[in-house]
Chain A
Amino acid sequence: MICIDSVTKSYSGTTVVDAVSTTIPAGGVTSIIGPNGAGKSTLLSLISRLVPMDSGAVSIAGLDIGRTPSKQLAKSMAILRQENHITMRLRVRDLVGFGRFPHSGGHPTAQDEKHILAAMEQLDLTQLADRFLDELSGGQRQRAYIAMVLAQDTDYLLLDEPLNNLDMKHSVEMMRMIRRLADELGKTVVIVIHDINFASCYSDTILAMREGVLVHQGTPAEIMTGDVLRDVYDIDIRIEEIDGNRIGVYFA
């Protein structure tokens, strides 16, 4: 369970995340949606101690992120940010291997090696294991980053726009994998995502933010209504039910 208690963050006078309080249940997939500048990514960075909060508190699985040593947190929570400008020439295998660092401290065991191979297999990277990151396409690189945080083998996985750079096929596969991580391995996955329909189809809980405030929280059925989405996005979105999923139509 992730407990968020009146978390606030301002950048030079502008409040980006405004006293957000909520609980993200353990297990399952939680999606954070909202328009640009709603504070979704900032909230994720605050939860994952990448950015220090101005006030408030966050605890993950009972660990207060402000007091728990970073190294210990790294064993229960992994975070991948949206912008990853890596200029280094690193092999995919090495990058994924660094995901084991919190466990191995730089001396990987056979066990660590297995995690690395499994994570690369999951993301279809086995063939690319010995390629350098700068030789990969944007989508392949995105998958390599995800494999790294997967190899970290944490109970909590926070992904900021995991579909970044992925085409339709890989987007669907990524969302299916996220679903399996929750269903088969019991992980708690929190993602920031722009596509409300992916959020609707694959999450258990949706948090909707607007202007730094958490405005709605609920199941996809509760969030995917014309009224709620108008409140969040300021546009009219028609909701159709297709194959049991609620799909928002907003293209025309």
Chain B
Amino acid sequence: MSAPVLNRPAAAEQDPAVAVRRPGKPAETTWLLLGTVAVLLLAAVSLFVGVSDVTLPQLLAGDAEAWDLLWISRVPRTLAVVLAGTAVAVAGLIMQLMVRNRFVEPSTVGTVESATLGILVVTVALPAAPIMLKMGVAGVFALGGTALFLAVLGRLPARNTLLVPIVGIMLGGVIGSVTTFFAYRYDLLQTLSNWMIGDFSGVLRGRYELLWIVAALTLAGYLAADRFTVAGLGADFTTNLGMNHKAIMRLGLVLVSLISAVVVTTVGAVPFLGLIVPNIVSLLFGDNLRRAVPWTALFGAGFVLLCDIIGRTIRFPYEVPVGMVMSVLGATIFLALLLRTRKRNA
């Protein structure tokens, strides 16, 4: 405010020197590349972890069995981990901006529970339903559950930081109880746990390809990154900038719900991921989604790869479901993060 004269930038002069590059931008690109390399390395490790031996020399020697195993089981599994990890983390990030609260993600506000209820309903009503139908119904239920959460939030008198996640957890709890009740009645508790606890051990060629849908949804989220960032500033800011806040919220609702539904149907719920990854990325790089989405995607993929590898090796040759590893690891990291934030604010 010290400059005495206002300079309206003249349209004519296009001095390239003035169009300053963001300081530190090249460095960040380098980091992003290094991060990608790290995730690729984890993916490579993931390809060679398992009960049956698949080793590099075997592959090089043209061992047909090893190659089959690689293509039928290991590659699909690794791809599934990367796709689901990326998408769930990004869905968490989008949801946090939508409700302007850091402590929510699809599995803590009823989205995942609703999707599970949807699959259960199809399974009971049409036991022979094709997976696409199951996924579709799960998607519709997830949309409904998430919309309900948003509607409840809209009616809360004051937006209390703690109230938002509590409302989500309560809503998720109610929907989850209904689901468990019906699963119990129809003797489907065993099946239910397949969707509630994420597990990549069943992933084979032909059973994961639907996850490419979430890749498309995640990309859509990235393309709308600016919109979600602005929506995170609030309805007034969004309207002032000439954007339709409700339309952005609807887009977010669809992306988050469908990602959750597809992931739950194919590999089961992946808890905590959407909570911790966006929070870590936010602390490190901030919330401008243009920058945060790539990092969230990388961290998401890397974290699930790591957890899946741990799950496969910790009591080899048996497997621990990845959801379990993530709960333990994720909860620990998140707790540490919360304590750190408190220290920072104190």
Q: Which residues of A approach B to under 8 Å, CB–CB?
A: 48-50, 69-75, 78-81, 84-91, 93-95, 98-99, 101-102, 106, 110-111, 113-115, 117-118, 121-124, 130, 132, 143, 149, 152-153, 170, 173-174, 176-177, 180-181, 184-185
Complex Cα spacing A106 to B225, Å: 10
Taken together as a complex, chains A and B put the C-alpha atoms of A114 and B282 apart, in Å, by 27
**Most chain B Cβ neighbours within 10 Å, of A113, A115, A174:** A113
- Contacting residue for B1 out of A113, A117, A174, CB 8 A: A174
Q: Is the CB of A111 within 8 A of B288?
A: no
Q: Once the chains bind, are A110 and B16 in contact (CB under 8 Å)?
A: yes
Given A88-B97, A123-B1: A113 and B20 interface contact (C-beta under 8 Å): yes
Q: Residue of A at shortest CB range from B345?
A: A134
Q: Which residues of B contact A176 (CB under 8 A)?
A: 1
Q: Is the beta-carbon distance between A75 and B242 smaller than 8 angstroms?
A: yes
7 shortest A-B CB distances, which residue pairs? A74-B242, A71-B242, A114-B9, A110-B19, A88-B287, A173-B1, A106-B226
Bound CA–CA A117/B8 (angstroms): 11
* B18 within 8 Å of A (CB atoms): yes
Q: Mark B162-176, 1 if CB is under 8 A from A, else 0.
A: 000000000000000
A71 to B241 Cα, complex, angstroms: 7
Choose from A85, A87, A111, A130 the contact partner of B102 (Cβ within 8 Å).
A87
Least CB distance, A175 to chain B, in whole angstroms:
10
Neighbour of A91 across the interface among B100, B226, B244, B286, CB < 8 A = B286
Q: Which residues of B contact A79 (CB under 8 A)?
A: 236, 240
Establish whether residues B241 and A98, one from each chain, have CB atoms under 8 Å apart when the complex forms.
yes
Given A90-B287, A94-B286, A152-B241, 15 new contacts (CB under 8 A): A50-B236, A70-B239, A85-B234, A88-B97, A89-B283, A89-B286, A98-B241, A101-B226, A106-B226, A113-B18, A117-B18, A118-B9, A124-B1, A180-B6, A185-B8
* B119 within 8 Å of A (CB atoms): no
Contact A113–B19 (Cβ < 8 Å) = yes
By secondary structure, the B interface counts as: loop
Interface size on B, residues (CB 8 A): 44
B236 touches A70 (CB 8 A): no
Q: Report chain A residues within 8 Å CB of B8.
A: 118, 153, 185
Minimum CB–CB distance from A71 to chain B (whole Å) comes to 4
15 A-B interface contacts by CB (under 8 A): A49-B239, A50-B239, A84-B237, A88-B232, A90-B229, A90-B288, A98-B229, A98-B230, A101-B230, A101-B242, A102-B242, A130-B23, A132-B286, A181-B6, A185-B8
How far apart are the CA atoms of A185 and B3 in the complex, in Å? 14
B7 contacts partner chain A, Cβ-Cβ < 8 Å: yes
Set of chain B residues within 8 Å of A73, measured between Cβ atoms: 242
Q: Is B233 on the interface with A (CB-CB < 8 A)?
A: yes
Smallest CB-CB separation from B239: which chain A residue? Answer: A50
List chain A residues, Cβ under 8 A from B197: none
Given the complex, which residues of A lie within 8 Å of B243, measured CB to CB? Answer: 70-71, 101
A162 CB → nearest B CB, Å: 12
Name the distance in Å between A67's Cβ and chain B's nearest Cβ: 15
Nearest CB in chain A: distance from B15 CB, A: 8
Q: With A86-B234, A88-B287 known to touch, is A122 a contact of B240 (CB < 8 Å)?
A: no
Is the Cβ of A98 less than 8 Å from the Cβ of B233?
A: yes
Cα separation A153 to B8 with both chains bound (whole Å): 9
